[in-house]
Amino acid sequence: MRLERLPTLRVNPSEQCTVNYHGKSYQGVAGDTVATALYANGVRVFGRSLKYHRPRGLYSLDGECSNTCMAVDGIPNVRAENTLAKNGMRVAAQNVIGSADFDWMGFMDKADWLMPAGFYYRTLHKPARLWPLALRQVRKAAGLGKISPDFKMKGRFSEIYPTADVCVIGGGPAGMSAALAAAESNLRVILLEARPWLGGCFDYRVSAFDAEKKLFERGRELAARVEAAANIRVFKHAPNVGIYNNNLVTAFQIGPPDGAYDERYIEIRATSVVVATGCIERPLLFENNERPGVMQVGCAHRLARTYGVMPGRRAVFSIGHDMGLEAAIDLCDLGMEIACVADIRDDGQAPDLLMALAERRIPFLKGWVAARTHGAKQVKKVTLRSIEGSVKRQFECDLLVASAGFTPLTGALTMAQARLRYDAHTGYFMPTQLPAKMHVAGTMTGRNHPLSIEASGRLAGLRAAADCGADNADAVTVADTHLGRLPGPERGTKLVTAPVKGRKSFICFDEDTTVKNIKQAIDMGFDVPELIKRFTSAGTGPGQGGIPGHNLPLFTARYQALSGATPLPTVARAPLVPTLVATYAGAHHDMCKRTPLDELQKRDGGVFRRIGVWQRARYFSEDLSCREEVLNVRNNVGMLDGSTLGKFRLHGPDALKALQRVYVGNMAKMSPGKIKYSAMCNEDGCVIDDGVVVKLSENEYYFTTSTARAGETAEWFRYHTRYDGWDYHIVNLTDGLGVVNISGPNARKVLQKVVDADISNEAFPFGGYREFTVQGAIPVRAMRLGFVGELSYELHAPAACMVSLWEILTEAGKEFGIRNFGVEAQNVLRMEKCHIILGVESEQRTNLLDLGLGFLWDRHKTDTKTVGTVALRQAEGDPNHFRLVGIEMENPERAPRDGSIIVDRRIRGYVCTARRSFSLNRAVGMALVEAESAGVGTRLEIFEDECDGRRLAARVVPMPFYDPPGNRMRM
Amino acid sequence: MALTISCPVCGKRNGYEFRYGGEDKGPRPDEKGLTPRTWCDYAHMNACVAGVQKEWWCHKNGCGVWFTIHRNTLTNLEVDGPEVTS
Amino acid sequence: MFQRFRPLWGKRPHLNSSYDAVIIGGGLHSLATAYFLAKEQGMSNVAVIEQRFIGFGGAGRNTAIVRANQRTQENVPLYKEALELWPILTKELDYNLMFNNCGNLNLMHSEAAMNAARMNVCTAQFHGVESHLLDPKQLKEVEPTINTSPDITYPVHGAMFHPPGGVIRHDAVVWGLAKGAARHGVHIHQQTEATAILTDGGKITGVETTRGRISAPRVLVSAGGYSAGIINRMLGIKLPISVLTIQAMVTQPLKPVLNHVVSSGMYHAYANQTLKGEIATGAHMDPWPNYTTLTTAHYIKHQAEALSEFLPFLRGVKFMRHWAGLADMTPDMAPIMDGNDPIEGFYMNCGWGYFGFKSCTATGRHMAAFMAKGECPERLKPFGLKRYENHRLMGETAALVTYTPDN
């Protein structure tokens, strides 16, 4: 069955490989794709089309359309034609009810008259109650592959980010020549090739390259040289998926069956890029042009030469290019009966090919084209017509090799913003302007002579090397002159469609878009290709522009010929090859920061939450109200890991000026050993951060920021002083220092046990800052703060000492029953004190005054240009802002849920944080409300979600709720 | 697009290492005589140039410096000067 | 069953030398305004000027998601009105806008986010819009594809569920409105670029175009991402707008599997299944202004990483097409709709960022009333330009928003 002895084979017929299709085993050989294995076993129908459920077969071998999209091992839309078969693969046809051969939905093909272009928009909405029903059917009918909602992707995925001097896209003769030429200058070269082997259009052809070598031999010779070059890194089986400006190239590589990865995402930064992606074939438009049994020239030829599978017994060829003649001759020599070769061209064929056709007595028709295939599930007969349509002939066959010509794969160029223009000579879209440091080579330039292909590659490679600074001007000139002497771009065929009406001439296979549909769309005013694409869906299926990409603009221009339209290229978008989400995701490491105390907090039963980049312990028990944690701080002593706090050192002669610029307070008024609480605003006067500042010595400060702002604080300082040329330095110590907050009436007793310094209230009062060591070893910066409203020490120590510090304090606190408290307990404690958390008690638009923090602002600071103060002055007194107020619920047992709104007939504000307070036995909270509702004593109605009209009642009360004079934190 | 930015300290680097800092509007105007309108012009209003603009960037994942470049907003490429060179 | 294939929005009209109103931009807001001007305000001598083809910009590149679960009482009624207009317009325009009211799920990844979402839910319920909070178990029942396991970067704590939202076929809205506007006499001029807006003594007098001069007493610029540049270039009025590219992508088509619009602020991604079966997903904006509409490698990878976590079945699905459009962002994430100030007869409708689609019909209707009567309708008053200099930003964003490469 297999043509086992061909020297061109890329399969190993001696090694078998079995795939399971619809419950039956099919025997393939090593190197087969899923589709070639099935085809070798007589499978002709691989699936059904989207709308009409037409049978679809093998048409190309590079995945240009959805014809052979199948489900493989539960993964939908796998392109069977270029997916390597693996032993035991389970394969199923898509979009069928029944099987690919017997699809119960097959009748849809007769209903095409019901579905002209854009029929959805014009139907199914009258009467209105029809639409919800129709919607369900539309959804069911749409889509190709099926995937289970709980599908779990198997496999290993990785990613690499190489850099290169020159990146060559395409491992055909031009790409290989380019890579070799660039490598001459000792540059680092990367070569990307989509197929599992190098060789491109030489790889399977047995025509002569020169007196000694055939094309495939030449291809393998070049490949050997490329692979042997130490400075060329070759990625085979690695389709290029994207190219972005500044020559960022992306690709993915499919791993070998037993490799370290299944697919690997590759992102390359290259100085210069050579695009040598070659051509695909331009489909021929005629009636039933996608019947199983119709395939492209390269598909038929490679099926035999690369895979050893005879594509049919008796073939008709309808082609427009010498490669078609070459394939007919070669397949004839391999034993296929060629019923007829119809060539669109009237002239221009290579004389040796014509002679070879004649020698083999192959009937040859010039100026003829396939007009229709016959046969329900497979081609049985072909009608050929003369180009103008007047004469017809019919041939029985089981294979129609059809191709209008070639079309360059320009996706990489359009993505890179090259300008393309229709070139009348070649019939290609050719670049008229390339981005900097990008070059094209090979058949995509219209050159088909093997020597020209290689020479254009060499020239492009040398030019790319020059981009990287190679001193090769002479070599470039020589290569340029050499190329100029070789055959140039060839004339291409202009024929767009066979002389037919086009009811079943498919311009896009994936979306079942016919020539007739395109005419309908244009008649309706959709007159540019991009609009036609949107209206008819042509080119938006799994194969994207592969099939319609060239014919759509050509046909559109021709249909509008009266207005003198020239073909406009359609837009190619990434990914140039459909790419798995899993492949793009790659190795995907979740990166987060953990505090130095992370392990200890876990040991103590911490329930962690991701807060920004950090993992923090939110609870230490199942009780989400944190009653025990809260009361332990109020009545005893607790410890909190505050290491995520932003911590900065600011020093230099102009450090104070910088502080004055960003903080609203007067930072010149700081005394040694005391902390200053202040806030930063943005240009709108809205508060973006609050924290404390300590003056360590002349020109040396230490300050903290909220966790969320730590990453941006240095930028903020530098941005707002960027015109000043001040001499100061800011150092982010956030990760270098950890923080323990020890709070509660017994906090001093615990701490005093482990420090030698005097930390009595007199020696180290509230608002103080001290430096001392814990157990004579751990250097600590200590602050007396009152965020939770109790006697409290915030201890800052080097991250490396944090575990020891924590364990020392835990040990010392044992006799008092010291225990952890988490972020939520802190949240309740600080809420009782009405200490705000930005982003919770503030919106984006909340300014310093709205929060009642106006006392932080020193209006008398002069010449500091403090950020935010212009806006604060302008906005001061505007009643049109939400103000922060304290609220107390009428029902002391029932706090509203956070985020509930405050309403009367309209919305007046919302509840930021509210809790049933264990310390106070009241339900209290903070809310942002309109100024007119902000007066103490105002009664508020609270509207909770799902409240069903029953509102809760609250009253505005003075803040804070807990220990208003603040005695407890001054103990 | 794949933006690259030339940091005056570190050289040409991946654009994602930088933070955009807005159109260059010059130093902050003097607070005296500022009306809400003129302040708003400075704080919020943009020219939204379709072409080359001078703008601020910070090499946030690098040396931390703030600097200006010229960039063509139609191509997203850094350019040498204020003129469109294409 | 089908009429002949006639041009949907009429044959290419002659460019008159004068119109009652000229609308610059051929997107959704423009077409909706034109449609309602002609239909409800009796002003049909209107020209829509589009540089390329209608729906080229944001109208054809957006999420197509519709919902009315915004945060503030200024916004919700506008979006509610828009939501209720879809079925009415489908009938009025006799064009199937293919409203798939599948419901929206906004995933929340922390207690704090659930609380923030509660404000939206309360605001919606207060305005009679259906919206609920779901816990992870309820969420899993509603949409089984979502990963509610704790071992992902941002475990799902719950969701905001908004059943009346969904997805519209955005192109159909463009074409339907164009059809409706043309039928009422509006002239849609494609491939016509406005090159200048003409004023005299503080009043609008007309528009200069590549096809000639038009005199008109009122001009509306609603050209999406291009608006701010046009308004500054032609009238010297600067706006608080940054034009960013926003990206989206679709996977290959699948049989029905994802039954809601799912979005996550934390992962900065949304995903829904289109009627064609593709999973449409996106949301990323690079934080520097540009007009390129180019996509980035960084983002498609980032999106894959995000989807791998909260919709892990998608790991077995392939991305097929990735594109970008422009989003004109304002500092407070709310649009700017204003008129007659400082130039009489000049109107603007811009700053819609990435949420201009949802409200386009209701906005167009109010803008039409604004332009016809010269008086700003109540519903649009909060959206005036002066709010920035008056330090009265809209409250649509709870917290400060900074754009980073990873959101």
Chains contacting chain B through 3 or more C-beta pairs under 8 A: A, C
Mean pLDDT on A751-755: 97
Using CA atoms, how far residue C94 sits from A861, A959, C59, C91, in Å, is 66, 59, 20, 5
A830-855+864-970 has CATH 3.40.50.10540 classification = no
Within 10 angstroms of residue A112's Cβ, the number of other Cβ atoms is 17
Percent of chain C with pLDDT over 70: 97
Residue spans of beta strands (DSSP E) within A436-525: 438-440, 506-508, 513-514
Q: At residue C143, what is the residue type?
A: E
Chain A to chain C, count of Cβ pairs less than 8 Å apart? Answer: 311
Q: What is the pLDDT of residues A431-490, one digit of tens each?
A: 999 999 999 999 999 999 999 999 999 999 999 999 999 999 999 999 999 999 999 999
Amino acid, single-letter form, for residue A605: G
Q: Across the interface, do A143 and C256 touch by the CB < 8 Å criterion?
A: yes
Contacts 24+ apart (CB under 8 A), A938-943: A940/A887, A940/A902, A940/A908, A940/A909, A941/A902, A941/A903, A941/A904, A942/A896, A942/A900, A942/A901, A942/A902, A942/A903, A942/A911, A943/A900, A943/A901, A943/A902, A943/A903, A943/C122, A943/C125, A943/C126
Question: Considering only CA atoms, which of C180, C227, C231 is closest in space to residue C31?
Answer: C180
State yes or no: pLDDT of C401 exceeds 60: no
Number of A to B CB contacts under 8 A, please give it.
Answer: 45
**Whether residue A127 has a cis bond before it, omega within 30° of 0:** yes
Contacts of A582 in chain C (CB under 8 A): 304, 308, 315-316
Separation in Å, CA A963 to CA A957, B8, B18, C25:
14, 54, 47, 61
Model pLDDT, residue A845: 93
pLDDT digits (tens, 9 = 90+) for C265-301: 999 999 999 999 999 999 888 899 999 999 999 999 9
Q: How far apart are CA A914 and CA A894, in angstroms?
A: 10
Residue-averaged pLDDT of chain A: 95
Where, residue-wise, is CATH 3.50.50.60 in chain A? 157-280+408-485, 286-403
**Residue in C75, C164, C159, C165 with CA at minimum distance from that of residue C118:** C159
Q: For chain B, what is the domain count?
A: 1
Query: What's the rounded Cα separation, in Å, for the pair C370 and C373?
Result: 5
Q: How confident is the model at residue A110 (pLDDT cuts 50, 70, 90)?
A: confident
Determine whether A909 is exposed, middle or buried from the number of CB atoms within 10 Å of its CB (0-12, 13-18, 19+).
buried
Residues of B in contact with A248 (CB under 8 A): 2
Using CB atoms, pick whichever of B2, B27, B66 lies closest to residue A246. Answer: B2
pLDDT value at residue C406: 39
**What pLDDT, in 10s, does the model give residues C334-390?**
999 999 999 999 999 999 999 999 999 999 999 999 999 999 999 999 999 999 999
Q: Is the pLDDT of residue C154 over 50?
A: yes
CATH topology of domain A157-280+408-485: FAD/NAD(P)-binding domain (3.50.50)
Superfamily of domain covering C104-163+242-329:
D-Amino Acid Oxidase, subunit A, domain 2 (3.30.9.10)
Collapsed DSSP state (helix, strand, coil) of residue A755: strand
| Nearest residue in A to C73, CA atom | A907
**Secondary structure E strands in A720-855:** 729-732, 737-743, 769-774, 778-784, 792-798, 819-820
Of C294, C304, C392, the CB nearest to A581: C304
Domain containing B19 equals 4-79
What does the pLDDT look like over C299-308, one tens digit per residue?
A: 999 999 999 9
Of all helices (H) and strands (E), which one includes residue C272?
Answer: strand C269-273
Q: For A12-115, CATH number? A: 3.10.20.440
Tens-digit pLDDT profile for residues A809-843: 999 999 999 999 999 999 999 999 999 999 999 99
pLDDT of residue A385: 97
Residues of C in contact with B16 (CB under 8 A): 298, 405
Residue of chain B whose alpha carbon sits nearest to that of A866: B31
Q: Which residues of A touch B36 (CB under 8 A)?
A: 874
Q: Averaged over C75-79, what is the pLDDT?
A: 96
Can you read off the two tokens belonging to residue A728?
Answer: 């100061």
pLDDT of A108: 86
Q: What is the pLDDT of residue C403?
A: 44
Checking if the pLDDT of B86 tops 80, the result is: no
Q: Indicate if the pLDDT at residue B85 is higher than 50.
A: no
CATH number for the domain formed by residue range(s) A286-403: 3.50.50.60
- Domain range A646-732, CATH class: alpha beta
Residue C48's DSSP bridge partners are C23, C188
Are A135 and C125 an interchain contact pair (Cβ–Cβ within 8 Å)?
no
CATH 3.30.70.1400 domain range(s) in chain A: 646-732
Question: Can you tell me the mean pLDDT for A630-657?
Answer: 97
The pLDDT of A721-733, averaged and rounded, is 97
Instruction: Specify the residue for token string 């709310």.
Output: C334
- Find the distance separating the first CA and the last CA of chain B, reported in whole Å: 17
Determine whether the interchain pair B27/A723 forms a contact, defined as Cβ–Cβ distance below 8 Å: yes
pLDDT at A680: 96
- For A563, which DSSP code? G
**Which ipTM did the prediction report?**
0.96
pLDDT in tens, C232-272: 999 999 999 999 999 999 999 999 999 999 999 999 999 99
Instruction: Determine, yes or no, domain membership for B74.
Output: yes
- Closest-CA residue in chain C for A689? C400
Question: Among residues of chain A, what percentage have pLDDT more than 70?
Answer: 100
The reply to whether B85 falls in a domain is no
Q: For chain C, what is the mean pLDDT?
A: 94
Cis peptide before A960 (omega within 30 of 0): yes
Residue A565, pLDDT > 70, answer no
Q: Does C390 touch chain B (CB under 8 A)?
A: yes
Q: How confident is the model at residue C402 (pLDDT cuts 50, 70, 90)?
A: very low
Per DSSP (E only), the strands in A673-791 are 675-681, 687-697, 700-705, 729-732, 737-743, 769-774, 778-784
Q: How many CA atoms lie within 13 A of A625 on its CB side?
A: 12
pLDDT at C6 over 80: yes
pLDDT in tens, C99-148: 999 999 999 999 999 999 999 999 999 999 999 999 999 999 999 999 99
Per-residue CA distances from A494 to A318, A365, A367, A430 (Å): 14, 17, 12, 15
Residue B84 is assigned to a structural domain of this protein: no
Q: Is residue B86 part of a domain?
A: no
pLDDT value at position A112? 83
Which residue reads 């995907």 in tokens?
A: A588
User: What pLDDT, on the 0 to 100 scale, is given for residue C3?
Assistant: 55
Residue A726 pLDDT = 97
- Measured CA to CA in angstroms, residue C196 lies from A19, A893, C120, C205, C328 at distances of 66, 65, 42, 11, 21
Neighbours of chain C (3+ CB pairs under 8 A): A, B
CATH of domain C21-62+170-239+332-387: 3.50.50.60
Under DSSP, the state recorded for A736 is T
> What is the pLDDT, as a whole number, of residue A562?
58
Instruction: Name the segment(s) of chain A with CATH classification 3.30.1360.120.
Output: 593-642+736-817, 830-855+864-970
Say if CB C348 and CB C337 are below 8 A apart: yes
Q: Average pLDDT of B44-64?
A: 96
**CA-nearest residue of chain C to A687?**
C400
pLDDT band at C399 (very low <50, low <70, confident <90, very high): low
Mutate to test the interface with C, among A844, A847, A900, A946 (most CBs of C within 10 A): A844
Give the pLDDT of residue B84. Answer: 53
Q: Over the stretch A201-249, which tens digit does the pLDDT of each residue have?
A: 999 999 999 999 999 999 999 999 999 999 999 999 999 999 998 999 9
**Contact between chains at C332 and A881 (C-beta distance less than 8 A):** no
Contacts of A907 in chain C (CB under 8 A): 72-73, 123, 126
Which residues of chain C lie closer than 8 angstroms to B47, CB-CB? 232, 238
Write down the residue that tokens 């599997």 correspond to. C257
- Report which secondary-structure segment, H or E, holds A248: strand A248-254
* Length of chain C (residues): 407
Helix (H, G, I), strand (E, B), or coil: what is residue A513?
A: strand
Q: What are phi and psi of A854, to 5 degrees?
A: -55, -25
Question: Which residue among A585, A682, A947 places its CB closest to the CB of C304?
Answer: A585
Nearest residue of A to residue C258, measured between CA atoms: A149
For A593-642+736-817, CATH number out of 2.40.40.20, 3.40.50.980, 3.40.630.30, 3.30.1360.120 equals: 3.30.1360.120
**Quick one: three-class SS letters along A636-658?**
CCEEEECCCCEEEEEECCCHHHH
Instruction: With a cut of 50, say whether residue C8 has pLDDT above it.
Output: yes
Residues of B in contact with C239 (CB under 8 A): 45-46, 48
Pairing of strands C219-221, C21-24: parallel
Q: What is the CA radius of gyration of chain B?
A: 14
* Residue of A167, A712, A715, A863 for testing the chain B interface, max B β-carbons within 10 Å: A715
**What's the rounded mean pLDDT across residues A162-169?**
98
d(CA B3, CA C294): 11
Check CB contact under 8 Å for C241 and B46: yes
Task: Show residues of chain C in contact with A263, CB under 8 Å.
Answer: none
Listed in order, the ranges of chain C carrying CATH 3.30.9.10 are: 104-163+242-329
Contact at CB, B36 and A417, closer than 8 angstroms: no
